């Protein structure tokens, strides 16, 4: 083997080791989801068609028989699921319109929406992480429809993610929509890339928080935490 070939293999091994380390440590790169400039040049139908072909090739490489009745529709189903469902939050046309209204009744305390379902996919292994989000804001003169907060969480969760980024994206979206810095986001989830591979720890969960404005005050933070820990199941 030539020196150049050995160097090439060493480089590939180093890149693989770095990639594995990043994935195992769940390292993110920025608050913004990493997207290419041409991310939306293709239509949804074109993306589905291309993903279907590539996923069929993955299944073929794994040795699966795509002529089997149970498997032959899988590439199409997976492609449609990726584009239309679990990664639909990549496309800005699906961004929810966070309509706000004047706070005419002068409500000045915190609004808390808790136990919002979170279903997202770790961008390092494309395995789900599942949990709950708890979101609060203090009005600066506007209020927002409560379901819009759920939709904001769903939108940013519906993309390859790291939990820290998801937490910040939800907080930033709500701050921009409400024109207030007084926002809190608390997310707790279980990551299948931790429970089904690697360490295979099925009990641990991950908590991420973002407190801004008045929520940086410890007493206000504690009130928020008390609210989300209160058993209010209906």
Per residue in 54-95, pLDDT (tens digit) is: 999 999 999 999 999 999 999 999 999 999 999 999 999 999
Q: What is the mean pLDDT of residues 28-51?
A: 93
On whether both 143 and 78 belong to a single domain, the answer is no
Q: What is the mean pLDDT of residues 155-180?
A: 95
Burial class (CB in 10 A: 0-12, 13-18, 19+), 128: middle
On whether both 106 and 214 belong to a single domain, the answer is yes
Q: What is the mean pLDDT of residues 207-213?
A: 97
Pick the catalytic residue: 125, 134, 154, 210?
125
Let me know: does 169 contact 124? Beta carbons within 8 Å. no
Q: List Cβ<8 Å contacts ≥24 apart for 45-51.
A: 47/79, 47/82, 47/83, 48/76, 48/79, 48/80, 48/82, 48/83, 48/84, 49/79, 50/79, 51/75, 51/78, 51/79, 51/82, 51/83
Let me know: does 221 contact 184? Beta carbons within 8 Å. yes
Q: What is the mean pLDDT of residues 173-202?
A: 92
pLDDT for 93 equals 95
Kindly tell me if the per-residue pLDDT of 104 is higher than 80: no
* Residue 229: active-site member: no
**pTM, whole model, 2 decimals?**
0.86
Kindly tell me if the per-residue pLDDT of 128 is higher than 70: yes
Per the model's pLDDT, the better-predicted residue between 50 and 2 turns out to be: 50
On whether both 182 and 155 belong to a single domain, the answer is yes
* Residue 161: active-site member: no
Kindly tell me if the per-residue pLDDT of 162 is higher than 80: yes
On whether both 116 and 191 belong to a single domain, the answer is yes
Classify residue 175: in a domain, yes or no.
Answer: yes
* Residue 203: active-site member: no
* Residue 17: active-site member: no
Q: Which domain holds residue 130?
A: 100-229
Kindly tell me if the per-residue pLDDT of 118 is higher than 90: yes
* Residue 60: active-site member: no
């Amino acid at each position: 083997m030539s020196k150049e070939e050995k160097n090439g293999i060493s480089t590939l091994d180093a890149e693989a080791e770095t990639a594995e380390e990043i994935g195992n440590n769940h390292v993110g790169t920025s608050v913004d989801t990493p997207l290419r400039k041409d991310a939306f040049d293709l239509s949804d139908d074109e993306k589905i068609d291309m993903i279907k072909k590539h996923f069929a090739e993955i299944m073929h490489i794994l040795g699966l028989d795509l002529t089997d009745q149970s498997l032959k529709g899988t590439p199409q189903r997976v492609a449609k699921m990726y584009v239309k469902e679990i990664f639909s939050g990549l496309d800005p046309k699906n961004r929810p319109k966070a309509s706000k209204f004047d706070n005419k009744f002068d409500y000045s305390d915190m609004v808390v929406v808790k136990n919002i379902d979170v279903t997202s996919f770790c961008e390092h292994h494309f395995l789900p992480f599942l949990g709950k989000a708890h979101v609060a804001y203090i009005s600066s003169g506007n209020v927002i429809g409560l379901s819009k907060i759920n939709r904001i969480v769903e939108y940013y969760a519906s993309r390859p993610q790291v939990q820290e980024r998801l937490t910040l994206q939800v907080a930033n979206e709500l701050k921009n929509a409400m024109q207030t810095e007084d926002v809190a986001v608390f997310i707790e989830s279980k990551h299948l890339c931790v429970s089904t591979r690697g360490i295979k720890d099925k009990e641990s969960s991950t908590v991420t928080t973002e407190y801004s404005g008045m929520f940086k005050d410890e007493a206000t933070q504690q009130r928020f935490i008390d609210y989300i820990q209160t058993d209010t199941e209906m």
